Structures are given as C-alpha cells and as structure tokens.
Structure 1
Amino acid sequence: MTDMTDMRASVVVPCYSEKRWEQLKAAVASAWAQEPRPERVVVVVDHNPALLERAARELTGTTVVANASERGASGARNTGVEHTTSPFIALLDDDATARPGWLAGLLAPFADPSVVGTGGAIAPAWERGRPGWFPDEFLWVVGATYTGMPTELAPVRNVWSESMAVRREAFLAVGGFRVGFGKVGERARPEDTELCLRMGRPGNGYGGGRWMYNPAAVIDHFVPAGRSTFRFFVTRSANEGRGKIEMARLNPGQESLGAEQSYARELPRAAVRALLSGRVGRSFALVAGAGAAGVGAGYEWAFGARRPKAMEPAVA
C-alpha cells in the first residue's frame, strides 16, 4: 500500500494536434506552477511525429514521450503513467489550464487510505461566449461541471479524466484505461467512468476503494466555437447515450448506470422550471438533450451488441 507520508505526484498531459500548441504550453506551465510542485510533468504525444519533435525541443524540463499504445487518449494516458514513479498521478488535458491549488486539492483526499482516486471542478472557457439556451444540467456536453454535482468535498461514483488523480499502484493493478474505448473521432465512450468503476470495485487486484470529488480543485477547459452549436449539443448527447450502454456491457451491475438513472429523473423537472422562468430555449434544449441521449442509448442497446465488446487494458 502507498506510504501516506510520501505524497509525491506527477502530472500526465496527453496531446495529439499542433493546432493546440499554445494551449498545450499553457497546460504544461500551469502544471509546473502547482504547489506542491510535481515531481515530473509527462507530455504524451499521440501518433504525431512533428508534434513529438517540437514538444521535445521546446518543452524544456518536461518529459516528452510518444504514445506507445494505439491511437487515442486512453493509450496516451497509460503511456504517461508508465513514465512516472511517484505514488500519485494527476491527469490534465492539453486544452485545459489548472488554477492555483488544483494539485493540492486533488491530493488532499488521499490522506484517507480508502481513496483510490479524486477529481476536481471544471469551468468552461467559451471561445465565443456561452449560448443563452445552453442548460446548466448539460454542461458535461462540453466537458464541464454541471448542475447536480456536489458543491463540497464528497464521495462520487466517478470523475473525469481531464482533471483526475489516482493512486499509481491502484491504477496499474486494474490495467489502466481500457485502450480503444475512449473518445476517438465522433464517438464518445466514457473511458474515465469505466476506469472509476473498475478501480472502485472490490476484487479488482487492488482491493477497491472510493472516489472523491473536490470542487476546490479547479481547471479551466477550453470550449471551441464549434462545440457551442445546437447540432453539436444534440450529437454529443446521442453519442453519450450510446457510450454509456457500451460501458454498462463491460461493467454489469446497478452501479454502472445508477447515477445516469437518477440524473435522467431530474431532467423533466429542470425543463419545467426553465419554462416557468421564461427560459424557453433552455427548456427545449433540456428536452432535446435528454431525447437524443435516449435515442443513442436505445440504438446501442438494440444494435451495438453485434460489435466486439472489447479491448483489454494496456498497462500491465
């Protein structure tokens, strides 16, 4: 088990596109600026030789490696963890910046030895401003903290990989992220939730444990203009519905979709409240988002079983 007097942490940042170069530099700088200072910041380049060469040349003091697994953020994050030795690993996306206190906030709950992982709050940084119709309950569509999440330190089923910390030994014991299951292209598979379920389950090779959410650990996550359209909103909601059914097939049991079922029961009430307060656009978006997620889930339930179930974790 982890020596609780040893709170050393490293930060892993996956990346894949030179178009995000300035954002990547900002993400890395924000990681190095944390207190406590990370033991190591590892940038993992996902099958992009030109970006790999540039990052290795310009990100001085930072460990830069190529994704040794198949394309995708899951394999990249696994590769990054393999290049660390600290007992705790924090994950940060290349289009996000960590605010002061982020790493300390993620590490604090690990004082409890039953905690295997933590996550923090994610604030959307809209490129062109937030659309007036965009519901608070659907901010997860753009990878941000949404209404319904805890407002103080609390146990949760899962957190998100763009702002996550794990016990390295627990992460390795379950095999890391399930390679091939993450967000590739237009598909949205919840690789972070799937990992949280496996790490939290007893008999997983480590012993299981709790996940904690600390809203005091905050990152700002860039939301490009293309993700603030209604078309993206509906498409992303449908893909999330499909992805959650895929996840449930890999992790049978009530805990797989229990949180989603509770969330879905709240959406009609939220739509009514928005309508009564004169926010017709938000009310319509709540209905449309819920409907799209339901259609996606139904499609995956009816036809998805014909596809191969799965992909073994990559980390030994």
Structure 2
Amino acid sequence: MKGPPVKDVAVIIPTMRRPDMLERALKSVFAQKGVEHRLASVVVVDNDPGGSAASVVGRLTEACPVPLVYRHEPRPGVSTARNAGLAATISPLIAFLDDDEKATPDWLAKLIKARETLKCDVVFGPIHGRVPPGTGWTTAYLERFFGRQGPEKTGLIDHAYGCGNSLMLRATALPGDAPFDPKTDQSGGEDDALFSALSMRGGTFGWAADAWVDEFAPPHRATLNYALTRAFAYGQSPPQLAWREGKPVRMLLWMGVGAAQAGIWGMAALALTVVNSDRRAEALDKAARGLGKVFWTKGFEPHFYGARELERLEKAKA
C-alpha cells in the first residue's frame, strides 16, 4: 500500500525592512501549483533588528497553504539570515527566494522537476529584472543587471549562479549547521564561497530554463552607481576564491585578466560616452568587473548587506 506523499521542500525568504515586497513574494509562493504534495513549509527570516516583518507574516499566516514559519534574526547579515532560515526547517530540499522576487505559479514545480531529472545538487532558474520608472537611458542595462539569463534548455551547467531562485539538496549543498560563511555578512559573496566548496567536492549544478521569477529592484538600488559597485564586487570573487583555496598563481592570473579587462573596456566606455551611446553602461560594467579583479584585497570590499543596507534604507526613507 502506497503511503502518504512526502512533503520534503521548504522555501526560505530572507527579508530586511521591505514589507510590501515581502508580501508580494509570499503571495507568489502561496499561489504555487502542482507542489501541494511536496511543499512542507515557508520560512521568513526577518533580518531587521526591529522585527518589521512580523506584522506581514502574522497577517498572511492563514492564507499560507502550509506552515508559515517566522524567525527573527536581529543580527543584520546575509549569511546569518540564510543560516537562521536553515535552522528553522529540517526539510531535505531547500528553495531560496529573495524578498524582492515574485515567482511564477509553476516556479517551484519546475525547479523540483529539473533537479530530479538532472540529479544535481543545486538547480537555478532565470530571472526577469524589473526596475522602477525614471531610470532613463540605463533602463535596459539595469534590467539585464538585475535579471539572470542562462541556457535556452534545461540541463546541467558547469558554473553556479546566486542563491535567489534556486533549489538545493541540503545533504550535499548545505552541509553543517551554518553552511553560509558569516564573514560575508556585509559584503555578500556567501553563495560564491558555498558553491565553490561544493564544486571542489564534486557537486553538480543544473539549470531549469522555465522556472522564472521577476526581481524588482528598489529605487535606491536601481541606479548606475549601485550596479557598477556591485559589478566591481562581482569581479573580486574569482581572485578572492583563488586566494582562499591556496592558489596564488591562479589569483595572479585573475589579476592580469582584470587589468586587461579594465583597460580595454574602460577605453570602450570612454569612446561610447563621447558618442552618447547607451551601450556605455555595459562597457562600464565590464571595466568595473576588471577593476574588481585587480583590487580584491581587504579594504576594497564594498558592503551591500547587513548594517550598510540598513543605512541605505534609512536614507531612502528620509
């Protein structure tokens, strides 16, 4: 006799002082189709020291088709928040959705199907970047920046993306009580370190081409300055990882690549600026990533999360 279905998937949503976005993200999870027999819980990790998400969760609890778990983690930090979410569930499959994302109705079902078909440790899905009105000539660039494009078809891939819009096999991809390094709480990059370690252990990555989410960049992030600073930080990841892994030669090679990248794309950006081309944003992005590969050491790391994000939110509110 066949037993009852096993509910083995938890969705974790870290959030910090974005109640409207959180409500949109939660409602998109409540509306998921075809996963009633798999979804065990939805976990909201409130990373605001003031606990601002509690009222949103309390108001929406009855609308959630499964247990809606609230965890207050008052220590601001992206890794600390993700680890707190993991501590709130024992589910063997973990889906991460960011609070500024909205999942399509078949998002989770597509991730689950892709992971089971590909038999991979982590599967990622594509993202439509959305920016508020008023971003002018940078709109197309910012939409691409906050979005995520991948292969046209579902399949195994040889690299990882960010945690947002992902499904992970906990036993292999998220080992231990705190798989996300708290040292990255303020700067980010916690997913790069996690997936680099998984790759070194022989882990595999997959792509679910039809598991779409929309990502809505808030006004204080939907700027060219913010995007280029993030691009600089993204560029820092390869040499930083090489150094942490004890590979100084690879680190130096990345620095050389970065210097060339910064020089070539910096000149291209200058030329495109002279002719007032919108394409200069893409060139500036590539130059910034190159500079990040050169200036990757401590002291050059920009901070996007935790206390720094609280400061930005306070300024935006004022």
TM-score range, shorter chain: 0.7 to 0.9
Query: Can you list the C-alpha shifts for 1:232-254, whole angstroms capped at 9, x where unaligned?
Result: 23322223223443333234567
Gaps of 5+ in 1: 203-207, 306-316
Q: 2:288 aligned to 280, 292, 315, which one?
A: 292
Q: In structure 2, how many angstroms separate the alpha carbons of the residues matched to 1:177 and 1:114?
A: 23
Q: Which residue of 1 aligns with 2:194?
A: 195
| Aligned twin of 1:125 | 130
CA deviation string 1:186-240 (max 9, x = no partner): x4x32222211222322xxxxx321111120011111123333332233222232
* Aligned with 2:89 (options 73, 84, 90): 84
Query: Residue 157 of structure 1 aligns to a residue in which SS?
Result: coil
Aligned residue pairs: how many?
276
**Correspondent of 2:171 among 169, 172, 185:** 169
Q: Percent identity?
A: 23
Partner of 2:23: 25
Distance 1:113 1:283 in 2: 37
How many Å separate the matches in 1 of 2:72 and 2:163? 19
Structure 2 letter corresponding to 1:84: T
Q: Counterpart of 1:63?
A: 69
Distance in 2, Cα, partners of 1:285 & 1:152: 29
Q: Equivalent residue of 1:226, what SS?
A: coil
SS at match of 2:80: helix
Equivalent-residue separation in structure 1 for 2:16 and 2:299 (angstroms): 31
Pair 1:53–1:232, CA change in 2 (3 A): closer
The alpha-carbon deviation at position 49 of structure 1 amounts to 3.5
SS in 2 for 1:159: coil
Structure 2 counterpart of 1:98, which letter?
A
Question: 2: distance between equivalents of 1:120 and 1:26?
Answer: 19
Partner of 1:159: 161
Q: 3-state DSSP class of the match of 2:130?
A: strand
Is this contact kept in 2: 1:246–1:300, CA < 8 A? yes
Hey, what's the Cα distance between the residues in 2 that align with 1:51 and 1:229? 25
Contact 2:51-2:72 at 8 Å conserved across structures: no
In the alignment, is the contact (CA less than 8 A) between 1:134 and 1:285 conserved in 2? no
In 2, the alpha carbon distance for the partners of 1:218 and 1:242 equals: 28
**Match of 2:184?**
181
Amino acid at match of 2:192: T
| TM-score normalized with structure 2 length | 0.73
Name the SS of the counterpart of 1:128 in structure 2: coil
- Structure number with greater Rg is 2
RMSD between aligned residues: 3.5
**In the alignment, which residue of structure 2 is the partner of 1:313?**
none
In structure 2, do the counterparts of structure 1 residues 40 and 243 end up closer, same or farther at CA, with 3 Å as the change threshold?
A: same
Give the corresponding residue for 2:15.
15
What does residue 311 of structure 1 align with? none
Amino acid at match of 1:16: M
- Whole-Å separation in 2 of the counterparts to 1:290 and 1:55: 39
